[in-house]
Amino acid sequence: MTCEQRPWQGRSVPRAFWREALAPYAQPRLGRSLLDLATSVVPYLVLTVLMYGQLAESYLLALALALPASGFLLRTYIMFHDCAHGSFLPWRRANEWLGVALGLIVYSPFLSWRHSHAVHHATAGDLDRRGVGDVLTLTVAEYASSGWRRRLAYRLFRNPLVMFGVGPVYALVVQPRLVSRSARPRIRRSVAATNIALAVLVTALCALVGWRAFLLVQMPPALLAGAAGVWLFYVQHQFEDTYWQSAPDWSYADAALRGSSYLKLPPLLQFFTGNIGLHHVHHLSTRIPNYNLQRAHDDNPIFHDVPTLSLADGLRAVRLKLWDEERGRLVTFAQARSSA
């Protein structure tokens, strides 16, 4: 095929092409967005109240409610995510205010998270700009030349028990509370204001129901949703034939179409994950709201030859640890040793 016949090869297609082709899908609809809130935030809050009510009767039943609550909390995070891209509501200021409010539910300062996530979109797949808003990935050569301490730290970081066990605690509780001294004043104020607001809310809830009840109810859904969120973020760019290039050869479109997966999930899981499995569409056009991603994928041939993962493929991808520049793929530690 010639370049003209291969629209999925990003560098052969002018940016104006996909911007024009995808513009009809990048139109938030207020009614549809309100429905998203009614099927994410509202059921999460209702289930949380029910969990508190069940504590005196049966904590096992409260834990049973934590499973759907975690799904609705994860879905709420997708609404927060869309607000950060300005794609959820038709008005910029409304996206900001709603994002700030949702940030209190998902424990994240909106402006700080929006900034780091924008950096992620601008640098995904760029070997020379790793480290902000992504999953730390070393090349085979970098790992081989590292000292034992760095190797051990990397192995621990990439261990599934750490990544999906400790990772959600760090991602939800610790990391959002921190801000770099070099961050813009507005972002520092956002983190401080969110921390203060959360401290007030948590203190008020603990005074109302007790700190033990607060932990027993709030933590299980948060940890389950956090683990699922970390896994989703991982498989969106960490699969065997993903895309990594050094800056001179890096392409935004190729990073979207070759380095962002189409994770095909069962309908119920696609609902709870807010269609974020259609990550290739989202990375090519961040202004498309979650509820238009599937239609954009189905209608445009540019998306029909992208890396596609099943649920099982996504689970197996956790084995992959290092980027092999010679083979152009992610490999396991064992594969890296065999090729040395």
Contacts of 72 (CB under 8 A, 6+ apart): 39, 40, 41, 43, 44, 47, 272
pLDDT value of residue 118 = 94
**Per-residue pLDDT tens digits for 109-125:** 999 999 999 999 999 99
Neighbours of 203 (CB within 10 A): 12
**Per-residue pLDDT tens digits for 252-307:** 999 999 999 999 999 999 999 999 999 999 999 999 999 999 999 999 998 999 99
Average of per-residue pLDDT across 48-64: 94
In the numeric block, the tokens 């445009």 are attached to 300
Hey, what are 237's tokens?
């760019």
For the chain, give the mean pLDDT: 92
Rg of the chain, C-alpha, whole Å: 21
pTM: 0.92
- Cα distances (angstroms) measured from residue 141 to each of 291, 308, 321, 325: 41, 28, 13, 8
d(CA 321, CA 85): 29
pLDDT value of residue 248 = 85
**Per-residue pLDDT tens digits for 236-256:** 999 999 999 998 889 999 999
**Per-residue pLDDT tens digits for 199-221:** 999 999 999 999 999 999 999 99
pLDDT value of residue 8 = 46
d(CA 298, CA 311): 20
H/E stretch holding 138 reads: strand 138-139
pLDDT value of residue 15 = 66
Average of per-residue pLDDT across 51-74: 95
Question: Interhelix angle for 41-54 vs 59-84, to 10°?
Answer: 160
Question: Interhelix angle for 59-84 vs 30-38, to 10°?
Answer: 160
d(CA 162, CA 154): 11
Whether residue 238 contacts residue 313, with contact meaning beta carbons closer than 8 Å, is answered with no
